[in-house]
Amino acid sequence: MKNTLNSLEGLIIDIVASFPEGIGVNQLSRKLKGKVSKVKLIKEIRKLSDLGLLHITRDLRHKQRLLIKASEQVLQIFRVFSLNNFAKFERQEVEVISAKIVNLISCYLDWTEKLSDPYLISYLKYKVVSEFSGLISKIKEV
């Protein structure tokens, strides 16, 4: 089994992490509408759960509903990238964008020292690539 995540898996983790209290399978499926079938989504959720990146629990309010939650380390990584807003800014000078890229790399290096799980590192790489892509597209606009 490979130690990396594909972009769909990264996207699933991102959506789940954006709901720290948990998200139901149907709601997650709606968020991913057109990107993956429900059958494939359930397989991916199980896989990510087996890897320890997501947790599946029963919703106490609904007997048949499952809640999917991100692991604590995934939530920490997600929060760092959400708080830094690397790729979220209005048209700024290239110097400001390049400073954000330096901060992004620094953040990545800090986190790789803390992590040993190859799947968490893979999720971290997904986040960095995603943010970097957003920054590069902003350079094109400037």
SS3 67: strand
Q: In angstroms, rounded to a whole number, what is the distance separating the alpha carbons of residues 21 and 138? A: 32
pLDDT at 27: 92
Question: In terms of pTM, does the model score above 0.85?
Answer: no
Q: Per DSSP, what are the bridge partners of residue 66?
A: 58
Q: In angstroms, rounded to a whole number, what is the distance separating the alpha carbons of residues 101 and 132? A: 7
Is-contact 57 21, C-beta < 8 A? no
Is-contact 53 120, C-beta < 8 A? yes
Please, what are the averages of pLDDT over each run of 10 residues along the chain (142 residues)? Answer: 83 94 92 91 95 89 83 93 66 72 90 93 92 76 53
Distances in whole angstroms, Cα of residue 119 to Cα of each of 17, 48, 59: 15, 9, 26
